[in-house]
Amino acid sequence: MNKKADIIPGISLAGINLGTDIDEILPEISNEYSISRDIGVVVLDHGMITIGHEDNGCIYSVMCNSRFKTKYKNILWAGMTVNDVLEMSTEQIAYGGGVVVNRIDGIGLPLPDGYDDFEKLTDFLSLDFVFEYLCVFKTIFDN
């Protein structure tokens, strides 16, 4: 994990690349970060980074919480409010249980459980609601 690595939508977060085998990266980071593992999920540093992987080990998503301070082009970051999202973007759509802004494919802010669609972001979220997580995922147009 590299806390200073650029966030690349649909590719990587914290230097952890989508499509990589989870068992390839764990030895590299096990000496530096606490690791907990459950079926399909690896959590680093008590939730700072959460990695989703398939049964075969292939990483399909990497998510960070608000303790992770790297931002994507100063537009998206974990810990931003709905108001921040509205100020930093011109378009917000619901996709796969998250908010995708400005049609930037492969990165988003997970919505709270039970909320997976909206006309306007403020339909059910207040302006001061905090998106605790930011997620990089396989792009919409990949097969």
107 within 8 A of 72, measured Cβ to Cβ: yes
Per-residue confidence (pLDDT) for residue 14, from 0 to 100: 92
Share of the chain above pLDDT 90, in %: 70
Min mean pLDDT across 6-10, 58-62, 63-67, 116-120 is at: 116-120
pTM for this predicted structure: 0.89
Min mean pLDDT across 5-9, 53-57, 75-79 is at: 5-9
Residue 60, Cα to own-chain centre: how many angstroms?
11
Per-residue confidence (pLDDT) for residue 142, from 0 to 100: 47
Per-residue confidence (pLDDT) for residue 140, from 0 to 100: 56
pLDDT, averaged across the chain = 90
Domain boundaries of the chain, sorted by first residue: 80-132
Per-residue confidence (pLDDT) for residue 3, from 0 to 100: 66
Report the alpha-carbon distance of residue 45 to residue 50 in Å, rounded: 9
SS3 (DSSP) at 87: helix
Q: What is the mean pLDDT of residues 8-36?
A: 91
- Identify the residue with better confidence: 138 or 133: 133
Reported confidence tier of residue 2, pLDDT bands at 50, 70, 90: low
Amino acid at residue number 57 = G
Per-residue confidence (pLDDT) for residue 6, from 0 to 100: 87
Per-residue confidence (pLDDT) for residue 39, from 0 to 100: 94
Report the alpha-carbon distance of residue 87 to residue 30 in Å, rounded: 38
Q: Which of 85, 21, 114, 58 is nearest to 77 (CA)?
A: 85
Report in angstroms the alpha-carbon separations of 101 from 18, 44, 62: 20, 26, 18
